[in-house]
Structure 1
Amino acid sequence: MGRPQKQRIIPKEQAVFWMDKDGTWHNEHGKLEHPKIIRYFNQSIQKDGQGYFLCQILDDVEERVYFPYEDTAVFVVDLVRKGTGIELALNTLDAIALDPESLYINGDALFMETDDHLIKFSQKALAQMAAFLTDTPQGLALNYGQIQTIIHEK
């Protein structure tokens, strides 16, 4: 199947849903609860120069709905130990290797910055990370294997 011939763009000011700072989807009626809808939304997240949007193909039309979000639209939802490293499972259903040098703390949140996304750790992922964190005189540090990396604050 080729690329759709038409494109429908819905700006974030007209979106009827949004994502909060914890990665939770909402609409005018409140928090979205249905797991299949949440999964569909998360796996549909894409990004371009205008920001994050949900993308779907309806007949021959590609629909992009840009949506409001706080902090970021990409979250670590689970940690998976892979040999000598840690893989981060994202809400988008993608996975990425943990890069300790790209971690930073802002407020009470842990983030990892990549070339493509600013990624925030969910509360569940942050709790999983606690086993690898140590308070040092230089600040909070990630300990994994034989390496200790100081996590800087922004």
Structure 2
Amino acid sequence: MADKEKPIVIIPREKAVFRLDKNGIWHTDDEKFTNQKIISYFHSIIKKDKDGYFLEQEHEHFLEKVYFPYEDTPLFVFRIIENNGLILCLSTGKKIRLDPEKLLMKNDNLYVRNDEDIIKLNADAMLSLASYMDDADGQYVINTDGKRYVIPCME
């Protein structure tokens, strides 16, 4: 006998009691989250549908989708690992191989395009790339795999 699908409870963005700032830090009211387990958990349950980004959590009798406000982007690169190339460790727990042709600059911040998502590199991740980057004629360049890639500016 198959389980019945649980009803979905949707919390709209304007009713969410937490938000994500432009640096990937969760807040409630005017306070930052400090419990690392909760911070990691929140990042790990971010999903996206046609209505935007939300946190999805399964409860005993229902599935909850909380659309949350965020500044800039809800997805971040928190760490970079060197392993036969550069591996981007995302805030969600996913890892993706860096494709230097998908890097973008905006307001002195570095982003990477992954399908339709724009993912922001936090300060630690940007610092990890510093030894691969230089400035050529006012444009940022990344040097990897023996090639130079100009990083375009995003509008």
- Report the TM-score when normalising by structure 2: 0.93
Q: Which residue of 1 aligns with 2:101?
A: 101
Structure 1, gaps ≥5 residues long:
none
Distance of 2:98 and 2:78 partners within structure 1: 13
Q: Which residue of 2 aligns with 1:146?
A: 146
Q: Once the 2 structures are TM-superposed, how far is the Cα of residue 5 of structure 1 from its aligned partner?
A: 2.0
Q: Once the 2 structures are TM-superposed, how far is the Cα of residue 131 of structure 1 from its aligned partner?
A: 1.0
Write the letter of the residue equivalent to 1:41.
F
More strand per residue: 1 or 2?
A: 1
RMSD after superposition: 1.5
Q: Which residue of 1 aligns with 2:18?
A: 17
Q: Once the 2 structures are TM-superposed, how far is the Cα of residue 145 of structure 1 from its aligned partner?
A: 2.5
SS of residue matched to 1:152? coil
- State the number of aligned residues: 153
Structure 2, gaps ≥5 residues long:
none
Change (3 A) 1:42 1:2: farther
Q: Which residue of 2 aligns with 1:79?
A: 80
Q: Which residue of 2 aligns with 1:64?
A: 65
Distance of 1:138 and 1:4 partners within structure 2: 55
Distance of 1:29 and 1:138 partners within structure 2: 38
User: Which residues of 2 match residues 102-117 of structure 1 at below 5 A?
Assistant: 102-117=102-117
Distance of 1:7 and 1:14 partners within structure 2: 16
- Kept in 2, the 8 Å contact 1:4–1:62? The answer is no
Q: Once the 2 structures are TM-superposed, how far is the Cα of residue 138 of structure 1 from its aligned partner?
A: 6.1
Distance of 2:44 and 2:51 partners within structure 1: 19
- Report the TM-score when normalising by structure 1: 0.94
Q: Once the 2 structures are TM-superposed, how far is the Cα of residue 97 of structure 1 from its aligned partner?
A: 1.1
Deviation digits for residues 64-97 of structure 1 (CA, Å, limit 9, x no counterpart)? 00000011111000001121x2110000000111
State the identity as a percent: 37
SS of residue matched to 1:16? coil
